[in-house]
Structure 1
């Protein structure tokens, strides 16, 4: 009755579909849900929804630990043995029980059903030895990986150990630190590391400063105010290289040694601390006479220790605080440093202003 109401031109198509359904060649089309109409009225809000999550951001050491665990998993995948063929092969031993001998007349299907119960797998001695060797190798590999990862973690944490003692407006630019042994030579070791000297380079730094102080004694007497002050500085720079530690009177001092370092190596010397930041510029030679114009950044921490800070450049410029000037003792050639550091001074001032705005 329903087909009688259809138009004759549609009957042929309907019967064709019936035949396809019966033959299994009919292609069914899923019924799609109607589209939800969007409200075109009103301007969409541009405000981002505030996050309601109470989860804190991960700390620095947590990020490092996550990276270490990922590296460890990847390394285990690549170093894990693919498997020994001898381990996969197992010898099949059939038990010689009386029941098995007496039931030879049973049907084959019963024998097949009993075989899984009668089959026993026992690894040979050679296979056990291979398994023990593999487990020992994996255990030793894990120990090596753990030691290497712990060393990497210690190195990463040490590189940020004193970052909190860097002035806040410069903290984001300190990309790494060198923390020397704290035996009284730490400041001179930092200078030696910045100059590319070896482990005992701190003695070379002391000797080169003594040479510069002796060769230009008159100008340093004028700077320090008296001959006795120069003698005291010379005594403080003179140490026995075999001593395991030196007294505080022979430690690096910003006020006593800052200008000598700048003159000796013809480089700006930048002293960082929470109390003050100062730059010492060379007084005799200009920027064109220097082998390297890059400043050396010395960070004073815990009020008794020096750390070498590696400062990051921004558009080829590093921040430089206002210098300690000695105009009466500055040569005409050395006055070129003032023009050389103008961009660094402006950058430092801008960082200082921006940090106060944030506060």
Structure 2
């Protein structure tokens, strides 16, 4: 008998990926589901270990605060309180217990922020829906990522 931990993530989650997208996916990483999993997934997607999830949160918070005027203007079209909710949800760095839902990675707002922070395209596959988030102020490859 094979334990779930021994089954490759690609095999475990293949049925959740739309069939049209399956041939474009070379690997799937199953990150720790502790409420920081969205940030862990970004860390892994950037080629780092998932333990750098807090650095991802911090970098996104810096982007949000540094360009507050731009993010407030962007989110205002939908809801003026989005900026404040994101600003209060990002600084969560404890490893003692899982992050509460208010601190989870949520799309679309954090999808846009992650793409902008790292100058990348973030693709969210969810059921039969696919969402793509692009960097809106800079082109790809213009950000140098430094990990501590």
Give TM-score, length-normalised by structure 1: 0.37
SS, match of residue 28 in structure 2: strand
Q: Which residue matches 1:181?
A: 32
Moved more, 179-188 or 273-282: 273-282
What is the aligned counterpart of 1:172 among 17, 23, 37? 23
* Partners of 2:138 and 2:112 in 1: CA distance: 13
Q: Which residue matches 2:113?
A: 260
Greater relative CO, 1 or 2 (CA 8 Å, sep 6+): 2
1:175 to partner: Cα distance: 2.9
How many residues are paired up?
Answer: 143
* Partners of 1:203 and 1:172 in 2: CA distance: 32
1:274 to partner: Cα distance: 2.0
1:277 equivalent to 2:108? Answer: no
What is the aligned counterpart of 1:232 among 71, 78, 85? 85
Q: Which residue matches 1:130?
A: none
Task: Identify the structure with the greater helix proportion.
Answer: 1
- Aligned residues of 1:262 and 1:282 also touching (Cα < 8 A): yes
Output the aligned Cα RMSD. Answer: 2.4
1:1-359 map, 5 Å: 155-225=6-76, 227-287=80-140, 289-290=142-143
Q: Which residue matches 1:86?
A: none
1:291 to partner: Cα distance: 5.2
SS, match of residue 178 in structure 1: coil
* Partners of 2:14 and 2:32 in 1: CA distance: 18
Q: Which residue matches 1:350?
A: none
SS, match of residue 23 in structure 2: helix
1:201 to partner: Cα distance: 0.5
Structure 2 unpaired stretches of 5+: none
Structure 1 unpaired stretches of 5+: 1-149, 293-359
- Aligned residues of 2:120 and 2:141 also touching (Cα < 8 A): no
* Partners of 2:26 and 2:142 in 1: CA distance: 29
* Partners of 1:192 and 1:169 in 2: CA distance: 26
Give TM-score, length-normalised by structure 2: 0.84
